[in-house]
Amino acid sequence: MSDDSQHRPLRTFGRIKSRPIKPRQAALFDTLMPQVQLPDPRSGPLDPAALMPGAAEVWLEIGFGGGEHLAAQAARHPGVLMIGCEPFLNGVASALRHIEEGGLKNVRLHPDDARDVIAALPLASLDRVLILFPDPWHKARHNKRRLLNDDTARDLADRLKPGGQLRFVTDWHDYAEWALERLDRTPGLMRIGDTADWHAAPPDHVVTRYEEKKLGDTAPIFLDYEKRV
């Protein structure tokens, strides 16, 4: 996606393509993608009930990378509609392969900026939001590109149902503190757990590909929040 300077001058993600996509994965863009792609969120509101009638819950994963976590959670929770957003096309190709290999019927993808999906979702429509190892943008002059800021925190809180949960995970210490400060001051969000044990992975966490690379400056830090009315 190119920068849309009309309403969003700053990109929160880096490259959208790296190595050539393998032919088998490229073919999935023609065969599987039309079945799982979300309607264009810029064209109008999204109705989760229409995306998967009868879904028990609706989860949103922002920046799913290669889709390993998204696919694992979708397999664990077949009754849950899993919406995944990721502009990095090699990652989308990988996710399509996971969806095909797992025979997953409950995943829907938006191969672009999650902020458009968030804006198009109804208020109080999400049960869970997962932001796992977002691009750290750790140089001070790049901090403004961070996905988590007061605006996205508020928009996500507004889209969580009462009792819904948001998980933010990073292995960059200053991003954890940045996120903690902003999420703590977001109306309606209440932190679950204690910063004393913020390195303890929650039991339902699935290790991600980025996490395995250990590129950050600390062990993963988990911040879980609940939406209170």
Ligand X SMILES: C[S@@+](CC[C@H](N)C(=O)[O-])C[C@H]1O[C@@H](n2cnc3c(N)ncnc32)[C@H](O)[C@@H]1O
216 binds ligand X (CB under 6 A): no
Residues with active-site annotation? 135
3 state SS of 172 = coil
Number of residues that bind ligand X (CB under 6 A): 23
Residues in contact with 103: Cβ distance below 8 Å, sequence separation at least 6, in sequence order: none
170 binds ligand X (CB under 6 A): no
The β-bridge relationship of strands 160-170 and 221-227 is antiparallel
Decide whether 15 or 141 has the Cβ nearer to ligand X. 15
Among 114, 116, 139, smallest CA distance to 129 is for: 114
In the complex, residue closest to ligand X by CB: 63
Other C-beta atoms closer than 10 Å to the C-beta of 19 total: 6
* Chain centroid, CA 224 distance in Å: 14
Out of 127, 158, 171, 211, name the contact with ligand X by CB under 6 A.
211
Out of 128, 208, 216, 225, name the contact with ligand X by CB under 6 A.
208
Q: What are phi and psi of 129, to 5 degrees?
A: -125, 135
Cα separation, 119 vs 128, in Å, equals 16
Out of 97, 98, 115, 146, name the contact with ligand X by CB under 6 A.
115
**CB distance 61 to 83 below 8 Å:** yes
In the region spanning residues 143 to 162, those forming contacts with ligand X, defined by CB under 6 A, are 147
Cα separation, 69 vs 66, in Å, equals 8
Out of 135, 170, 172, 180, name the contact with ligand X by CB under 6 A.
135
Residues in contact with 27: Cβ distance below 8 Å, sequence separation at least 6, in sequence order: none
Shortest spacing between CB 28 and ligand X, in angstroms: 18
Binding mask 75-104 for ligand X (x = CB under 6 A): ----------xxxx--x-------------
Stretch that binds ligand X, among 98-106, 108-116, 155-163, 186-194 (CB under 6 A): 108-116
Residues that bind ligand X (CB under 6 A): 12-13, 62-65, 85-88, 91, 113-115, 132-135, 147, 208-211
